[in-house]
Structure 1
Amino acid sequence: MEELLRYGEKFFDEVEIAVYRSRELSASVELNEISMASTESGAVTTIRGIKDKKLGLAVVDSDDPGRIREAIERAARMARLNSPDEKWVSLPEPGKYREAPETNPELKDASPEELVGMLVNAVKLVHEKDPHSVVAGGEGGVSWRESLVVNSHGVEVHQEGGAAFLFLELVGRKNGSVTPGIFDLDARRDLNLDVEGLVERAVQKVRWAYSVKPSGNEEVPIVLGPWAIAELFSYALLPAFSGERLVKGTTPLANRVGERIAGEVINLYDDPLHELALNPTIGDGEGVPTRKNVLIERGTFRDFVWDNYWAKVHERESTGNGKRDLRSGGINIGFHNVVIESGKRPFEEMISEIEHGYFVDGFQGAHSSNPDNGNFAVTANPAFLIEDGEIKGSSVFLMAGNVYELLKGASEVSKEQVVIPFMTTMVAPFVRFENVKIAGK
Structure 2
Amino acid sequence: MEELIRFGEKFFDELEIAMYKSREAGVQIELNEVSTSALRERVVTVVRGIKDKRLGVAIVDTGDKEKVKEAVERAYKMAKLNKPDEKWVSFPEPGKYREPRKVDKELREVSPDYFVELAREGIGMASEEGIVVAGGGGGAEWGESLIMNSHGVNVFQEGGGAFFYIELVGMKEGKVTPGIFDFDAKLSLKLDVESVVKNALQKVKWAFKTEKSKTEEAKVVVEPWAVSSLLSYALFPAFSGERLVKGTTPLANKVGEKVSNDLLTIYDDPLHELSINPVIADDEGVPTRRNVIVEKGIFKGFIWDNYWAKIHGVESTGNGKRNLSTGGISIGFHNVVIENGKRSLEEIIGEIEHGYLVDGFQGAHSSNPDNGNFAVVANPAFLIENGEVKGATVFMMSGNVYELLPDLYAVSKEQKVLPFGGSMVVPAMAFENVRIAGK
405-414 or 113-122: which moved more?
405-414
CA distance in 2, matches of 1:70, 1:365: 45
Alpha-carbon offset, residue 367 of structure 1? 0.8
Residue 233 of structure 2 corresponds to residue 235 of structure 1:
yes
- Secondary structure of the 1:83 match is coil
CA distance in 1, matches of 2:217, 2:67: 61
- Secondary structure of the 2:159 match is strand
- Secondary structure of the 1:430 match is strand
Q: RMSD across aligned C-alpha pairs, in angstroms?
A: 0.7
Partner of 2:80: 80
Give matches, 1:385-404, under 5 Å. Answer: 385-404=383-402
CA distance in 1, matches of 2:105, 2:422: 25
Partner of 1:261: 259
Partner of 1:198: 196
CA distance in 2, matches of 1:113, 1:388: 46
Residue 190 of structure 2 aligns to which amino acid in structure 1? N
Partner of 1:304: 302
Partner of 1:90: 90
CA distance in 2, matches of 1:124, 1:25: 22
CA distance in 2, matches of 1:26, 1:112: 5
1:33-63 per-residue CA deviation (whole Å, 9 max, x = no partner) reads: 1100000001000011001111111111111
Residue 160 of structure 2 corresponds to residue 162 of structure 1:
yes
CA distance in 2, matches of 1:274, 1:8: 37
CA distance in 1, matches of 2:423, 2:391: 30
1:339-364 per-residue CA deviation (whole Å, 9 max, x = no partner) reads: 00011111000111111000100011
Give matches, 1:76-225, under 5 Å. Answer: 76-128=76-128, 130-131=129-130, 133-225=131-223
Pick the aligned partner of 1:336 from 330, 334, 337: 334
1:211-242 per-residue CA deviation (whole Å, 9 max, x = no partner) reads: 00000101101010000011011111111000
CA distance in 2, matches of 1:304, 1:374: 16
- Secondary structure of the 2:226 match is helix
Residue 105 of structure 2 aligns to which amino acid in structure 1? P
1:287-332 per-residue CA deviation (whole Å, 9 max, x = no partner) reads: 0000000010001100000001100000000000000111111110
Residue 12 of structure 2 aligns to which amino acid in structure 1? F
CA distance in 1, matches of 2:175, 2:262: 41
Residue 56 of structure 2 corresponds to residue 56 of structure 1:
yes
Q: How many equivalent pairs are there?
A: 439
Residue 102 of structure 2 aligns to which amino acid in structure 1? E
- Secondary structure of the 1:122 match is helix
Partner of 1:346: 344
Residue 276 of structure 2 aligns to which amino acid in structure 1? L
Residue 432 of structure 2 aligns to which amino acid in structure 1? E
- Secondary structure of the 1:206 match is helix
Pick the aligned partner of 1:281 from 275, 279, 282: 279
Residue 343 of structure 2 aligns to which amino acid in structure 1? R
- Secondary structure of the 2:80 match is helix
- Secondary structure of the 2:170 match is strand
Residue 151 of structure 2 aligns to which amino acid in structure 1? H
Partner of 1:366: 364
Alpha-carbon offset, residue 424 of structure 1? 4.3
Residue 58 of structure 2 corresponds to residue 69 of structure 1:
no
Alpha-carbon offset, residue 176 of structure 1? 1.7
CA distance in 2, matches of 1:95, 1:32: 50
- Secondary structure of the 1:435 match is strand
Contact 1:208/1:392 (<8 A) preserved: yes
Residue 5 of structure 2 corresponds to residue 5 of structure 1:
yes
Partner of 1:16: 16
- Secondary structure of the 1:335 match is coil
Residue 338 of structure 2 corresponds to residue 319 of structure 1:
no
Residue 148 of structure 2 aligns to which amino acid in structure 1? V
Partner of 1:47: 47
Contact 1:234/1:424 (<8 A) preserved: no
CA distance in 2, matches of 1:263, 1:200: 34
Alpha-carbon offset, residue 275 of structure 1? 0.5
Question: Once superposed, which parts of structure 1, at least 4 consecutive aligned residues long, lie more than 3 Å away?
Answer: none
Contact 2:221/2:429 (<8 A) preserved: yes
Q: TM-score, with normalisation over the residues of structure 2?
A: 0.99
CA distance in 2, matches of 1:296, 1:233: 13
Contact 1:231/1:423 (<8 A) preserved: no
Structure 1 unaligned regions, length at least 5: none
